[in-house]
A and B are shown apart, each in its own frame.
Chain A
Amino acid sequence: MTARRLVVVGNGMAARRLLEELLARAPRRYRITVVGDEPGAGYNRVMLSPLLAGATGEDAIVTHPAAWYRRHGIRLISGTPVTAIDRRRRQVRTGAGHRLAYDRLVLATGAAPRRLALPGADLDGVLSFRDLADTRRLQGLAPRALVVVGGGFLGLEAAEALLRRGHRVTLVHGHGHPLNQQLDASAGARLRADLEARGLRFVLNHRPAALESDGRGAVTAVRLDDGRRLPADAVIQAVGIEPRVALARQCGLALGRHGVRVDDTLQTFDPRVYAVGECVEHRGRTFGLVAPLYHQARVCAGHLAEQGLERYHFEGAATRLKIGGIDLLSAGDFLGGEGDQVITLDDPAGGYRRLVLRDHRLVGLVLYGDVADGPFYETLWREGRDLSALRLKLPFGEAACAPSRPAAAEEAAA
């Protein structure tokens, strides 16, 4: 069987996992070309925060150097975007003028940081934190007063890293506590207090109304919705990401409300074209964390390898985060609703945990500070089993819920 042509658009984490999965299943099925718009080889995007904070170097975050692509016979075209896809001709064009024919195409175009829809959002010094280039730009800032807009994970990571670089950082967040997509108010308050103790300043329950200019095109301040003015030598916008769907739209693929629509095999509207990662919309859902991306890559690789039995379905996964050394875990319906039962355990100088039960089943949880029991709770949450018998031991974690020690000791003695 002659090798068919596979073109992968994008060289991010989803794309690379797809390649690994595919090489493991069918190493000679395709002649593969990867086109990435970022220059250089593959790096671990998750490590950009430590890189920004100065905790690691650029070399250390590279996971797939050029040699890796060579070794596997993959043609890597980096530093240039794909500019068009011609599905009728099954051809891809790049900004550098390549015309790449394909038998199968994978879109792994990822997502772009959402930009503030505000007057002044286009001023100099209004930055994002998404890729290596962004990171280098942020590394280049002289120590100054910075405002980070957005108290989600990315905003907090950026703020914490910039704080470590010696900046005065104020974080503006429209909600009452940071990380409200992952934390309940108590955990959020703990996080706020812990970060404030390190010098981060919070402006909560307010949004920026405008970015002010120095008259020469550079940002100088953030004007808040209550009229307050926060001086800012730079503004880092961290208000979410948007799937990059321009290419898909250009070539006429069906889109969902946000991303490229895929079925359970990660196939798009065009059977020759697949899509994985942050650019896709699967059953109305878009993705931003690495675990579902990897799952998609595995399923997609299986179909590309024509071993396609597996179907992708979203598996709830716990969100595990680490912000400035503070471990967090969040899963499911951690707020809970009417009729749900909530267990909280709080050590003001240690861990906090919140468990939400519905019909004796764990439907959501938050762990703050101490996540050692994370796998235990996550399993209970995913399995959805009846926890009535464990109820009184449940808040104390796996060791307490394990079969009683005397029984274990007797077994050991025997």
Chain B
Amino acid sequence: MNPGAQPITKTTCPYCGVGCGMLTDGARLRGDGDHPANAGRLCVKGSSVLDTLGEQGRLLHPRIGDRRVSWDRALDEVAGRFRRVIEDHGPEAVAFYVSGQLLTEDYYVANKLMKGFLGGANIDTNSRLCMSSAVAAHKRAFGEDVVPGCYQDLELADLVVLTGSNTAWAHPIVYQRLAAAKKRRPAMKVVVIDPRRTATCDLADLHLAIRPGQDVALFNGLLRWLHDHDALDRDYIDAHTRDFQAALDAAGDQPLAGLARRLGLPAADLDTFYQWFARTPRTVTLFSQGINQARNGTDQGNAIINAHLGTGRVGRPGAGPFSITGQPNAMGGREVGGLANQLAVHLDLEDAAHRAAVADFWDAPALPAEPGLMAVDLFQAVADGRVKAIWILATNPVDSMPEADRVRAALEACDTVVVSDCMADTDTLACADIALPALGWGEKDGTVTNSERCISRQPAFLPAPGEARPDWWALCRVAERLGYGAAFDYAGPADIFREYASMTGLARRFGKQLDLSAAGDLSDHQYQRWAPRAWPLDGGARCFGDGRFSTADGRARFVACAPPPAPDTNHRRPLLLNSGRLRDQWHTMTRTGRAPALFSHRDEPFVDMHPRRAAREGLEEGGFARVRGDVGEALARVRLDRGLGEDQLFMPMHWSDCFSGRARVDALVPAHTDPVSGQPAFKHTPVAVAPWRPAWHGVMLGAGAPPAVDYWARIPLDREMALDRYVLAGGAPVEPARFQDWLPAAAQWLTLDDPAAGHYRRAGLDGEGRLVAWLALAPTPPAVDVDWLAGAFREPLDVAGRARLLLGDGGQGGADRGAVICTCYQVREATLREAVAGGADSVAALGRCCRAGTNCGSCIPELKAFLA
């Protein structure tokens, strides 16, 4: 980095829960070598975060309805409406729905306002959708929501069990740390438990392709096996835990062979896993959404923790259960209490002593004694009209909630929907009555906590665009209007952080691990210069290593975990749809959707399935499948993947109505929740698939809105020009007269019309001969050189180029190069095939040939597939 440019800012990545440190001068960005999470590494998403910045597409001004208003006017409106609802219907009729994308300071203020001053508990968060089962499991087992270990444990372990986690794609830097450790110590074993053969399996010594939803059976079986083979730590169980026998009884005693059949595993593999677990004291079990997002997600977490408690492997170097979070600040939100069933600072709503302490600390009038509504119930209450005003901050429930279409309908019918967002175009914002412009990453200022409890700063190094303001500021101004000004009179985020840090002293008083009270008197300057540190601030890197837990008696609890429910597939819905993240996308694409490079790995919504399943359903690679569930349906491309079971499907979670017509996977997911955590089961939706055979396929380039056709996918092409590529398909022949509804105005149109073949093309030019729109429709997908066409939007073509314009191929060979595999260096499939044909026989050799895989390394599992 050029030291002469902008000053260098230390900040934290806005994506996953790994929480990597970054250095940036605003123009360039690299990993922070001093940050404990990543030691300088960044993944492809993080590396391209600067490409997602900029004012384009941002929400820049408050508005009420479609009318731009001043902040004062908007805040008056929010406060007025919330006051009226509370006066008429009580505090149960208002709600906040917040996000793991909020900073801890924003989160703290939202929680304080709702629970301390509005007097309700209806504040829930999208962390309900990703982490709440882990939270509940932690609380049941440890008496507190604490991840006992740290990332270093993954490197110190001799056995790492990855379950319900495609770590390679969802948490790439943790995966890379693990891969590097395994390279240094090849004796280290990695076991991946996942119904899918994912990119993470690249690292696995053993992959257990378990039947979906059977993790409790697997880990109950482990507990029983450890018991039967005398591999439990009886002393530890006796000294530090309770309820072991109940858990063991619940674990059943099915013989290994029968259990293996039930799990769909070879008995020898299951035996290998149990033996490795038994004989490896340094074992870490890392778990994520595959565990949490289930109807028995809390039990799944506890079944894992049971095995660790039974072997005394909790909070010790290289040993422990390790829940890895999805969002950059899911942990921070949990700390401050941003869940409907929590109070604040790891204290409980139902506990009168906790409530009294909190009310006293906040000098708050009345604290609710009952938990509020958890996300699924909350939106149901919005639909019922029990909740009449909701303020949604930094999240997109219209895409991310189960039964997402019902959520949309509920919001559309709700009297008052306030949405704070930094983007102008999200599916949720479309339902907003009042829209408030928020600051985004690089503009807002505060702290986040990652999966290993490490608190890092996200400072502002960019000016606020338009009238965007911090979320804490908007919340405080509404609090002020409601008469609580004194309690929300913060000068800035440092002020809020000090208050929060001091408040964690209450947690310590009640025997909790959460303790930042040492930071309660930081100066503003110290806050600004805060170096990443894990809580408890006065403790070590791990919790509970001494066998003392946060329960009243200091003992951990085994939890009796019932056998998992049978999958609810039936003859009408015979397949189980799994959902999850892709390597290069994030959530509902509101951020990653701004970086064209991040679409080069996967550009259209898709459904993965085994080739034999596809053949049976009459589907083929690249064709379309209708995926139907009980509550909704989707339309997506078919991808064949031998890594899936024949009765399983997989769809990415990312596509929203901003990027495709009918590909919101959560519109298919029924709102079945875990009874303890309230977390929805996103991973096991019973569905059926059927082929959809379009009459025509299309490609459109331009800067317009999506056309009203059966299938469309928007793929950003160039941010500067706001240029998108659309892939289109339609079931019925289309009249060319309709094209004008899809295309912008142009000075001149080049046309191709072959009506008998259903083949049409259009190229619109401006007065200077620059392309402004390009369209091709044909009975088969038109092959075009998109990069070449994009160039024609920038600069007018010469005569030779113009003659090739409708063909859509400048003759430079770009039309058939395949997908980009290495996003960092934009290396396409054809280049890799050529390199292999030219003798490259290793990942390193591919890197030397074409640089693929030499930056972030996220594509290395895929590079290996080219070498196979």
A contacts, CB < 8 Å to B: 341-351, 357, 370, 391-392, 395-396, 399-400, 404-406, 409
| A391 neighbours in B (Cβ, 8 Å) | 754, 757, 759
In the complex formed, the residue of A with least CB distance to B780 is: A392
Residue B756, interface by CB 8 Å: yes
- Residues 801-837 of B, flagged 1 when their CB comes within 8 A of A and 0 if not, give 0111111010101001000000000000010000000
Within B763-783, the residues touching A (CB, 8 Å) are: 778-780, 782
Q: List 21 A-B contacts (CB under 8 A).
A: A341-B754, A342-B755, A343-B753, A344-B754, A345-B752, A345-B806, A347-B803, A348-B748, A348-B750, A391-B754, A391-B757, A391-B759, A392-B757, A392-B759, A392-B780, A395-B752, A395-B754, A396-B807, A400-B809, A405-B813, A409-B813
B750 touches A347 (CB 8 A): yes
Residues of chain A within 8 A (CB-CB) of B749 are 348
Instruction: Using known A-B contacts A351-B803, A399-B811, A406-B816, determine if residue A341 contacts B752 with beta carbons closer than 8 Å.
Output: no
A contact residues around B816 at 8 Å (CB): 404-406
Instruction: Name B residues whose Cβ lies closer than 8 Å to a Cβ of A.
Output: 748-757, 759, 778-780, 782, 799, 802-807, 809, 811, 813, 816, 830
A347 touches B802 (CB 8 A): yes
Interchain CB contact under 8 A, A406 and B830: yes
Q: List, in ascending order, chain A residues with CB within 8 A of B779's CB.
A: 392
Consensus secondary structure, chain B interface: mixed
Given contacts A341-B755, A344-B753, A405-B813, 18 further A-B contacts (CB under 8 A): A341-B757, A345-B751, A345-B752, A346-B750, A346-B752, A347-B802, A347-B805, A348-B749, A349-B802, A350-B750, A350-B802, A391-B754, A392-B757, A395-B752, A395-B806, A396-B804, A404-B816, A405-B816
Residues on B with beta carbons closer than 8 Å to the beta carbon of A400? 807, 809
Residue of A nearest to B759 (CB): A392
Distance (whole angstroms) from the CB of B763 to the closest CB of chain A: 8
Chain A nearest CB from B808 CB (Å) reads 9
| Complex CA distance for A370 and B807, rounded to whole angstroms | 15
Assuming the contacts A351-B803, A396-B807, A409-B813, asked whether A346 and B751 have C-beta atoms less than 8 A apart, the reply is: yes
Cα(A350)–Cα(B751), bound, Å = 11
Give the docked Cα–Cα distance between A345 and B799 (Å).
16
* Min CB–CB distance A228 → chain B (angstroms): 34
A-B contact count (CB 8 A): 68
Contact B757 A370, beta carbon cutoff 8 Å: no
Interface centre among A341, A343, A404, A409 (most CB of B within 10 A): A343
Docked Cα-Cα span, A342 to B757, in Å, equals 10
Smallest Cβ-Cβ distance to B754: which chain A residue: A343
CA distance A405 to B814 in the complex (A): 10
Question: Which residues does chain A contribute within 8 Å of B802, judged by CB atoms?
Answer: 347, 349-350
A350 and B830 alpha carbons, distance in the complex (Å)? 34
Give chain B residues whose Cβ lies under 8 Å from the Cβ of A405: 811, 813, 816
Question: Chain B residues with Cβ under 8 A from A347's Cβ?
Answer: 750, 802-803, 805-806
Smallest Cβ distance from B774 to chain A, in angstroms? 13
How far is A190 from B811 in the complex, measured between Cα atoms in Å? 28
Chain B nearest Cβ from A72, distance in angstroms? 45
Given that A346-B751, A347-B750, A348-B750 are contacting pairs, would A341 and B803 also be in contact in the complex, using a CB cutoff of 8 Å?
Answer: no
B756: nearest chain-A partner, CB-CB: A341
Chain B: which residue is nearest A353 at the CB level?
Answer: B752
CA A109 – CA B595 in complex, angstroms?
A: 75
Complex Cα distance A41/B748, Å? 51
Residue of A nearest to B816 (CB): A406
B799: chain A residues at CB < 8 Å are 350
Nearest 3 pairs of A and B residues by beta carbon: A341-B756, A343-B754, A396-B807
> Min CB distance, A401 to chain B, in Å?
11
In the complex, A342→B811 CA distance in Å? 26
User: Which residues of A sit under 8 angstroms from B754, Cβ to Cβ?
Assistant: 341-344, 391-392, 395
Question: When the two chains form their complex, are residues A349 and B759 in contact, meaning their CB atoms are under 8 A apart?
Answer: no
Q: Roughly how many angstroms separate A400 CA and B779 CA in the complex, as a whole number? A: 17
Report Cα–Cα, A185/B804, bound state, in Å: 24
Q: How far is the CB of B866 from chain A (nearest CB, A)?
A: 16
Q: Which residues of B contact A345 (CB under 8 A)?
A: 751-753, 806
Q: Looking across the interface, which residue of chain B has its beta carbon closest to that of A405?
A: B813
Contacts of B809 in A (CB 8 A): 400
Question: Which chain A residues border B753 with CB–CB below 8 Å?
Answer: 343-345
B757 — which chain A residues lie within 8 A by C-beta? 341, 343, 391-392
Provide the residues of chain A in CB contact with B756, threshold 8 Å.
341-342, 357
Q: Are A396 and B780 in contact (CB under 8 A)?
A: no
The residues of A that contact B780 with a CB separation of less than 8 Å are: 392
Which B-chain residue is minimally distant from A414 (CB atoms)?
B837
Shortest Cβ distance from A408 into B: residue: B813
CA distance A347 to B807 in the complex (A): 12
Whether B751 and A344, one on each chain, are in contact in the complex, defined by CB atoms closer than 8 angstroms, is yes
The residues of A that contact B804 with a CB separation of less than 8 Å are: 396
Instruction: Tell me the minimal C-beta distance from A336 to chain B in angstroms.
Output: 11
Interface centre among A341, A345, A400 (most CB of B within 10 A): A345
In the bound assembly, the distance between CA atoms of A18 and B194 in angstroms comes to 85
- Nearest CB on A from B233, distance (A): 61
Docked Cα-Cα span, A392 to B779, in Å, equals 9
Q: Which residues of B contact A406 (CB under 8 A)?
A: 813, 816, 830
> When the two chains form the complex, which single residue of A341, A343, A344, A349 contacts B748, counting CB atoms closer than 8 Å?
A349
Residues of A within 8 A of B748 (CB): 348-349
**CB atoms of B750 and A344 under 8 A apart:** no
Asked if B807 and A350 sit within 8 Å, CB to CB, the answer is no
How many angstroms between the C-alpha atoms of A32 and B500 in the bound complex? Answer: 117
Task: Determine how close the nearest CB of chain B comes to the CB of A387; give it in whole angstroms.
Answer: 11
Q: Which residues of B contact A346 (CB under 8 A)?
A: 750-752
Q: A221 to B780, alpha carbons, bound, how many Å? A: 59
Who on chain B is nearest to A348 by CB? B748
The residues of A that contact B782 with a CB separation of less than 8 Å are 392
- The distance in angstroms between the C-alpha atoms of A200 and B613, with both chains bound, is 68
Closest to B830 in A: A406
Give bound CA distance, A346 to B779, whole Å.
Answer: 21
Distance (whole angstroms) from the CB of A342 to the closest CB of chain B: 8
Given known A344-B753, A346-B751, contact A370–B803 (CB-CB < 8 A) = yes
Q: How far is the CB of A409 from chain B (nearest CB, A)?
A: 7
Chain B contacts of A341 at CB under 8 A? 754-757
CA distance in complex: A366, B748 (Å) = 22
A338: min CB distance to chain B, Å: 13
Tell me the minimal C-beta distance from A361 to chain B in angstroms: 13
Q: Considering the chains assembled together, what is the distance between the CA atoms of A349 and B805 in angstroms? A: 12
For B758, the closest partner residue in chain A by CB is A392
- Bound: A404/B816 CA distance, A: 9
Q: Which residue of B lies closest to A355 (CB)?
A: B754
Q: Give the nearest-CB partner of B753 in chain A.
A: A344
Residues of chain A with a CB closer than 8 A to B750's CB:
346-348, 350
Q: In the assembly, what is the distance between CA of A344 and CA of B760, in Å?
A: 10
The smallest C-beta distance from B838 to any residue of chain A, in angstroms, reads 9
**Distance in angstroms between the alpha carbons of A58 and B813 in the assembled complex:** 49
A399 to chain B, nearest CB (A): 7
CA distance A348 to B751 in the complex (A): 9
Distance between Cα atoms of A347 and B761 in the complex (Å):
11
| A395 CA to B807 CA, complexed, in Å | 9
How far is the CB of B779 from the nearest CB of chain A, in Å? 8
Question: How far, in Å, is A110 (CB) from chain B's closest CB?
Answer: 39
List of A residues within 8 angstroms of B755 by Cβ: 341-342
Least CB distance, B830 to chain A, in whole angstroms: 7
Which B residues touch A348, using CB under 8 A? 748-750
**Residue in A closest to B757 when the chains form the complex, CB atoms:** A391
Closest to A393 in B: B807
Q: CA A350 – CA B755 in complex, angstroms?
A: 22
**Chain B residue with minimal CB distance to A395?**
B752
Q: Across the interface, name the chain A residue whose C-beta is closest to B815.
A: A405
Name the residue on A nearest B765 (C-beta): A349
Cα(A357)–Cα(B755), bound, Å: 12
User: In the complex, A349→B765 CA distance in Å?
Assistant: 11
Contacts of A344 in B (CB 8 A): 751-754
Task: Please indicate which of the listed interface residues A346, A357, A370, A392 has the most CB atoms of chain B within 10 Å of its own CB.
Answer: A392
Rounded to whole angstroms, the CA-CA distance of A208 and B755 in the bound complex is 40
Q: With the chains together, A391 CA to B754 CA distance in Å?
A: 9
Which of chain A's residues have a CB closer than 8 A to the CB of B830? Answer: 406
